[in-house]
Structure 1
Amino acid sequence: MGTDELGRWRDALIIDRDDALIGGAKRWLGPVRTPFNKHELISQLESFLRRPETANAVVALLDGNDRRLVALALYSGTSPDDGLPAPELAKLATDEPAFEAIALERIRNLKERLVLYSYRGTRGRERVAVAPPLLERMLAEILPADALTSAKSTEEPDAPGPFSDFCAILSACVHAKPAFKGKREPSKRATEILDAAAPGLSSDKERFSSLLYALEAAGVFGAGDDGRPIAYPRRFVEACDETGYAAALALSAGCSSYRSPSYHSSPENDRRLAPGILRAALEAMPRGLAFSPADLRRLTAMAMGRYLEPLADAGEPGAQELLEQGFIASVAAVAEALGTLGFVALGGDGLVRATSAIDSALRPVASSGAAGAVIVEESHEIRIMPEADLPTRAFISAIARLERTGLVWSAILDKASAKAAYAYGFGSEEIAARLEAVSGMSLPQSVRFSLGAWEAEVRSARLRVGVVVALDGHLSGVLEHSPKAEGLVQERLAEGVYLLAARDAAEAERMLKSAGIDVDMRPSPEDDGSSFQPLWDEAKSALVKPIGAPPLAFRPISDTIVSKEAPLVEKLLSTLEGLVVSLDERADLEARIRAKLVLDESELIRAEPTEQDIVAGAMDYPGKVRLLERAMKDGATVRIEYLDDDGTLVKIAGVPRDVRREASGTVVALSSGGAEQTVVAIGAIEIVRRRIVN
């Protein structure tokens, strides 16, 4: 705690509209005489709160809900004294939105007890933080686990990383044509490939759609003219080659980025921030612990806050927008993505656990380029061994039909898959060279021969955008003389080059096939991918950057945390039972105890009534007016000393009945009994005194 935070707390108490300062001073320091000096009261309260016995009593009054709020305020920023805005604090502290109003009332209560206070942060938002005089004691008592409702020791579930599912979707959509039968529903052939490579993925429509969104956010998929997704395998391979071991983090970050609400930040900001946010969230997940789904939100929020706050303070606009406009919605999106990607799993007991899949994103197999990670069989089967890196897996998923993932992946490079690869711009020599590099062996002769022959067959008919087709000799004759091709040629452009009577390339492809000429036209990206590049670049950067704030440590708690009454409350209520007080006094004292405004048993013993004079002197004109108006409202007696027209000092007592402005100035009319009133010019009053009994 620095002097800035302490000064911020003092300033906040001075301007506090709820008068927590005056309330605390009256409870713990005794009667507050007026006029009073707020700075002096703050100094006295600060000394009082710093006493070990006071701090111990404050801690003893904290129940489970109090501790959760204090823990979230302590551990959701880069510094324990940063705190959170009250609405976000209330949303995170509750399991259901219906209870947010209760949490806000609990925050108000903690501020009244001077445990928390409100201040305006550097970016203009009001935040709630722990009072600096209690900060050291709270850090010693309140642990990160206090922010959770449950933290039980458990076995960590084993789960594969999501990269295999990304590859399965890409491979299925490359090697099935058409890939989609609806806007986002895979075709029958694509479903067959998916079911073999990633069993259960096609039937889990919500998860499939989320992973597809992630691939779109990463630029690996685009939208066709009919609105259906189209794959860009070349871009996928190039991006994975460039990003290396960070490719899994990049694609996974696309899942949370694409699902985040668009109103808080631009897509470019999302892609730039998402990898770092995901890494922070994954690093923050406690391993070997089971926690509630609501706790997953809290863990995600604490990790995101600790990651984003330094960026926002440094002027990063995306981080500022996310923190100030869409933080809770983004927390929900990232927490949901963690489940979708398999980084956390919901158990049969209703509790969430971090899985071993986290390691696949944070600590994947490095791009060593070592040979022997792939085995190419004469049967055209390609086996991908566990030591293969991510770029190798991405490449084979693009050029061959993925048939199995798991410990050892399997893919088939047959004629259909090779022709699809050629249609997307891969060449036989490129495929052969890369397979030999990662296998460490020459390709089987039959595989190399087939690759060349299939490429020659594909290149013999080349469809060009603009509905122009170039054909080799034999096929040129088919097009010119076959009855099936009648009406297909609009104009012969050159030897073997024809302008077709087709509206677009897809129609031209169908017309040529009906004439017996097999061509394969696949879409390519219309953009250069620069808008998607930040996602890949930041993923690579995120894994090499040092962690800003170290992850929080969460210890297991034997039983589910419940909101039991604070122990000191029970003790104080027991003491109250033995006191002889009136029913009204008992009800008032019990309400104060349950509000946790009583720190010690001595506060339950009412002191004898004390008298206090409120005084305004001759030079305090506004003070005289306020005192008289308040006494008039309360019907209270005041004593006045004033100078009459002869300069004689007159003393009078009475109840103010009217304060009004006349031509000569403001006057007060006092009634001292009966119907008679005395009118005195306020400017002539030397002193006005009101006695109050406490």
Structure 2
Amino acid sequence: MIKVDPKVQRIIDWRESFITLPDNHFFELIRMYLGEIHSPFNKQKLIEQLGAFLRKEENRRTIINLLSESDILILAAVYYIPNATTEKLSNFFDKTINFAKLYERLLNLEERLLIYRHGDKNTRKTLISLNPMLEDEILPLLSKKILLPLPVLETRNEEVPLSLTPEKLAAFINFVCTNPGLCKADGTIKKRDCEKLEEIFGSGTAPVFQHIFTAFINLSLVKENLNGYEIDGSRLNSFAGLDEKLQYAYLCVAGIGRFSRTALMSQAKLLLETANSLPATGFARTCVLRTAFLLFEKDPSSFSSSERAFGGGRFNSILARAQGEDENSSANSILENPSAVMDRLCDSAAMFGILQEYGKDENGETVFVKGGVLFKKTVSRTGIGAEPELPKVLNIDPAFNVTVFPGLPLKELLPLMRIMDLKQFDTAAVFEITRKSIMRALDSGLAEKEILEIIKKFCAYELPENLLVSIEDWSNSYSSASLYKGYVLKVDEKSTVLVQNNPSISPKISKIIAPGAFLLNVASDEEAQNLIKESGLDFIGSIQTPKSEFSGPAFPVFEINRTAGSALLGGGTAQLRSGAISESEGSDSYGVITTDEERKEHFDMLRGLLDKMAITPEQREGLLLRINRKIILTPQQLNADSVKLEQIEANGMDYQGKVHVAESAITQNMMLELEYDDKKMPDGLAIIVGTPVSVEKNPVDSVVHLVVEPEHEERAFSLGQARNVKRIRGSVLR
């Protein structure tokens, strides 16, 4: 098999794509550059002539010299976004270039032979690429810095950022434990409890904890009970075992909605890798969103794999594959527009310390830098060898007030939260050990000995004697009565030893309530009956719910690509080397964008020649439009015979003209651009682009049914009320 040079193959693809254009589009482009077409003609020879036109040094240089900064911006996006499509480009420039203007720019770049469209055999989508005939001249002008410019800081944010810490998160968990009825039925925290939170944590903190509590609900870290909400201890322990960065990323994502495991992981990974990719100077919000888009497009598969979330092993792999198709589909649909995902997450990420609002740029846009949490060093407690010694962070006074200083991870703080009640949170958190808090700890399953061990583990000094006495007294009081619910097996004294040694029943004994009375850890009648059947014994139901462990899947864990940012931002101009596309610092004579004055000289020269031509007004208008659209490069292209006279636009009171333009667009399989007055829009105009399907006429008005882009939704529009109706080619989208 003959190996074809990659650039040669791209030129072949360009020629094949050009020859498959609709005839009206093909011949229009040929007339623009080669003049009137005379019969007989051959498409292949016409393309060869067009190629010869592009190979002329003067023509290539003129094409490049006419490029403006906005042209370069779009060409850079086409080049750096893998497998660029109109949809991707629309998402990338969302909120900076509306679709109608973007489509017009793409169409113009295609007319100027700078880009071309071609089909992808695998995805069956229409891709947009740079014209390989002009690559050598275009690439030195392109750089990722064009897409991601560094901000010019106008004002600095002097406020101390409010960031999440393990101590703050643990303190809020304690608050939820002691205030189970803190929220309404819709999950919003009640006004009274918001005031309590701000008294404890400081003014303006209530919205932060509302976001956290919403995330708790969506992550199933809390569950409803008769009194309101309670912490799901087993699931919370699983969450607390995650790296701190992952915890906060999951809270950011879950705070805006409930997602599948894979969709949750995908968005959290996108958030962390985007934040980790920001340069020291930061990025304006628009560039943060673009960074997220480029990171995702660079390797989409890394954001949709769910295999690792289930752990290793054959069974877990089967589970992953079983859920993979649906979940990956869900994740991919969510990440169809990574910029929109990042836009939703930016504010909460700044709230939690993943991002930091550094200030405002010259356009009034917020500038974000990496948040403090990304600079924290993670201490692994699961590796080989001795675990690191944890700091002694507790200070207990004689009144049982406990000051908790920073230093412990969330997983180590959780047991402490079961023992104490929150009083105040500042640089250090202040708690109180009370009878109520110890009763809550005992009720959660901790024994007196375990409570003391937890406190001693993180206390630098001996515990106060009066505290030891009080805890013992409270424990004795708690043990004087118990309420049970569940399945209890009652046997006589002779059978007690037999039951305790029974291989079927013994593993299921949750608690020995009294001699011969066993609380069984079974969850249903069927399970209890099967257990008794295996042992040959009877059973009796009673009152205490046996302790059950969280058995659901653990929170998905993923690696953060710490080199993605440098790979995304590194390098200088783009160039071709040995047929492969890469980044280099090199530049040649084409690597400088011309000024407006230099481009104006070209336009003035052509307009001067046009003014001297003896042609009809229609031909003059057609040629002038080509000059303004930067299609005419040489005086030889000022050929009046190459202008095809037809109405492609109608406006104002020309009702019949609007209908004619719409109907001709349907006949010629072209698109329409409709313009309406709209006071809600920044410039007072609403521009809609789409493919016309049909025109309905009635005595009052005519309605065109349009498949609107980029939504791909069919909608009806009045032609009579349209300010302007313009027929445009749909080649960029098809």
TM-score by length of 1: 0.63
> Quick check: 1:341 aligned with 2:361?
no
Does the C-alpha gap of structure 1 residues 140 and 236 become closer, same or farther in structure 2, counting only changes over 3 Å?
farther
Helix, strand or coil: the match of 1:341? helix
Does the C-alpha gap of structure 1 residues 347 and 444 become closer, same or farther in structure 2, counting only changes over 3 Å?
same
Structure 2's unaligned 5+ residue stretches are: 1-5, 307-320, 382-387, 489-512, 520-543, 573-593, 644-734
Helix, strand or coil: the match of 1:117? strand
> Quick check: 1:353 aligned with 2:367?
yes
Match of 2:119 in 1: 120
Residue number among 583, 591, 594 corresponding to 2:625 in the alignment: 591
One-letter code aligned to 2:236: F
Residue number among 164, 167, 178 corresponding to 1:162 in the alignment: 164
CA contact (8 A) 1:23 1:112 kept: no
What does the per-residue CA deviation read over 1:378-424, in whole Å, with 9 as the maximum and x for residues that have no partner?
35444444444443355545554445556544444444334334433
CA contact (8 A) 1:418 1:454 kept: yes
Match of 2:79 in 1: 74
Moved more, 334-343 or 166-175: 166-175
Helix, strand or coil: the match of 1:73? helix
Using the TM superposition, give the Cα deviation of residue 203 of structure 1 relative to its aligned residue in structure 2, in angstroms.
3.8
Using the TM superposition, give the Cα deviation of residue 565 of structure 1 relative to its aligned residue in structure 2, in angstroms.
9.5
Does the C-alpha gap of structure 1 residues 115 and 577 become closer, same or farther in structure 2, counting only changes over 3 Å?
closer
Match of 2:703 in 1: none
What is the RMSD of the two structures over their aligned residues, measured on CA atoms? 4.7
Using the TM superposition, give the Cα deviation of residue 86 of structure 1 relative to its aligned residue in structure 2, in angstroms.
0.9
Helix, strand or coil: the match of 2:127? strand
Using the TM superposition, give the Cα deviation of residue 339 of structure 1 relative to its aligned residue in structure 2, in angstroms.
0.9
Using the TM superposition, give the Cα deviation of residue 577 of structure 1 relative to its aligned residue in structure 2, in angstroms.
4.1
d(CA) in 1 for partners of 2:367, 2:196: 30
d(CA) in 2 for partners of 1:554, 1:522: 63
d(CA) in 2 for partners of 1:413, 1:7: 78
d(CA) in 1 for partners of 2:327, 2:90: 21
CA contact (8 A) 1:366 1:389 kept: no
Match of 1:374 in 2: 393
Give runs of aligned pairs for residues 89-100 of structure 1, distance below 5 A. 89-95=89-95, 99-100=98-99
Helix, strand or coil: the match of 1:69? helix
Match of 2:232 in 1: 232
d(CA) in 2 for partners of 1:398, 1:7: 70
Using the TM superposition, give the Cα deviation of residue 593 of structure 1 relative to its aligned residue in structure 2, in angstroms.
2.3
Does the C-alpha gap of structure 1 residues 360 and 223 become closer, same or farther in structure 2, counting only changes over 3 Å?
same
d(CA) in 2 for partners of 1:72, 1:167: 44
Does the C-alpha gap of structure 1 residues 587 and 142 become closer, same or farther in structure 2, counting only changes over 3 Å?
same
d(CA) in 2 for partners of 1:168, 1:274: 27
Using the TM superposition, give the Cα deviation of residue 103 of structure 1 relative to its aligned residue in structure 2, in angstroms.
1.9
Does the C-alpha gap of structure 1 residues 296 and 435 become closer, same or farther in structure 2, counting only changes over 3 Å?
same
**Which of these two proteins has the greater Rg computed from alpha carbons?**
1
Match of 2:296 in 1: 304
CA contact (8 A) 1:68 1:148 kept: no
Give runs of aligned pairs for residues 464-503 of structure 1, distance below 5 A. 464-465=484-485
> Quick check: 1:255 aligned with 2:252?
yes
> Quick check: 1:285 aligned with 2:282?
no
Helix, strand or coil: the match of 1:118? strand
Does the C-alpha gap of structure 1 residues 321 and 69 become closer, same or farther in structure 2, counting only changes over 3 Å?
farther
CA contact (8 A) 1:401 1:411 kept: yes
Does the C-alpha gap of structure 1 residues 277 and 570 become closer, same or farther in structure 2, counting only changes over 3 Å?
same
Match of 1:215 in 2: 216
Helix, strand or coil: the match of 1:159? coil
CA contact (8 A) 1:217 1:254 kept: no
CA contact (8 A) 1:373 1:386 kept: no
d(CA) in 2 for partners of 1:323, 1:54: 47
d(CA) in 1 for partners of 2:28, 2:164: 56
Does the C-alpha gap of structure 1 residues 172 and 257 become closer, same or farther in structure 2, counting only changes over 3 Å?
closer
Give runs of aligned pairs for residues 643-682 of structure 1, distance below 5 A. none
Does the C-alpha gap of structure 1 residues 185 and 608 become closer, same or farther in structure 2, counting only changes over 3 Å?
closer
Match of 1:130 in 2: 130
Using the TM superposition, give the Cα deviation of residue 220 of structure 1 relative to its aligned residue in structure 2, in angstroms.
1.8
d(CA) in 2 for partners of 1:352, 1:8: 43
Does the C-alpha gap of structure 1 residues 568 and 460 become closer, same or farther in structure 2, counting only changes over 3 Å?
farther
d(CA) in 1 for partners of 2:117, 2:459: 63
Helix, strand or coil: the match of 1:185? coil
What does the per-residue CA deviation read over 1:231-280, in whole Å, with 9 as the maximum and x for residues that have no partner?
22443234323x2xx233234234325636x8xxx713213323322222
What does the per-residue CA deviation read over 1:610-664, in whole Å, with 9 as the maximum and x for residues that have no partner?
9xxxxxxxxxxxxxxxxxxxxxxxxxxxxxxxxxxxxxxxxxxxxxxxxxxxxxx
Using the TM superposition, give the Cα deviation of residue 173 of structure 1 relative to its aligned residue in structure 2, in angstroms.
0.6
What does the per-residue CA deviation read over 1:140-181, in whole Å, with 9 as the maximum and x for residues that have no partner?
323334336883246577534334554443222112243334
What does the per-residue CA deviation read over 1:93-137, in whole Å, with 9 as the maximum and x for residues that have no partner?
24279x322222222222222323333343333333333444454
Does the C-alpha gap of structure 1 residues 134 and 317 become closer, same or farther in structure 2, counting only changes over 3 Å?
farther
CA contact (8 A) 2:423 2:432 kept: yes
Using the TM superposition, give the Cα deviation of residue 576 of structure 1 relative to its aligned residue in structure 2, in angstroms.
3.2
d(CA) in 2 for partners of 1:522, 1:403: 31
d(CA) in 2 for partners of 1:231, 1:523: 17
Give runs of aligned pairs for residues 601-640 of structure 1, distance below 5 A. 601-603=634-636, 605-606=638-639
Does the C-alpha gap of structure 1 residues 127 and 396 become closer, same or farther in structure 2, counting only changes over 3 Å?
farther
d(CA) in 1 for partners of 2:426, 2:24: 63
TM-score by length of 2: 0.60
Match of 2:537 in 1: none
d(CA) in 2 for partners of 1:107, 1:192: 54
What does the per-residue CA deviation read over 1:568-608, in whole Å, with 9 as the maximum and x for residues that have no partner?
6523332234321345454323311222223x353565499
Match of 1:392 in 2: 412
Helix, strand or coil: the match of 1:119? strand
> Quick check: 1:179 aligned with 2:199?
no
d(CA) in 2 for partners of 1:13, 1:421: 75
d(CA) in 2 for partners of 1:312, 1:2: 32
CA contact (8 A) 1:424 1:522 kept: no
Does the C-alpha gap of structure 1 residues 425 and 6 become closer, same or farther in structure 2, counting only changes over 3 Å?
farther
Match of 1:199 in 2: 202
CA contact (8 A) 2:239 2:247 kept: no
Match of 1:621 in 2: none
CA contact (8 A) 2:115 2:130 kept: yes
d(CA) in 2 for partners of 1:589, 1:18: 21
CA contact (8 A) 1:572 1:593 kept: no
Using the TM superposition, give the Cα deviation of residue 443 of structure 1 relative to its aligned residue in structure 2, in angstroms.
4.3
Does the C-alpha gap of structure 1 residues 380 and 276 become closer, same or farther in structure 2, counting only changes over 3 Å?
same
d(CA) in 2 for partners of 1:4, 1:443: 78
CA contact (8 A) 2:289 2:340 kept: yes
d(CA) in 1 for partners of 2:359, 2:130: 35
Does the C-alpha gap of structure 1 residues 310 and 232 become closer, same or farther in structure 2, counting only changes over 3 Å?
closer
CA contact (8 A) 1:172 1:193 kept: no
d(CA) in 2 for partners of 1:351, 1:112: 34
Percent identity, please.
17
Helix, strand or coil: the match of 2:394? strand
d(CA) in 2 for partners of 1:565, 1:522: 78
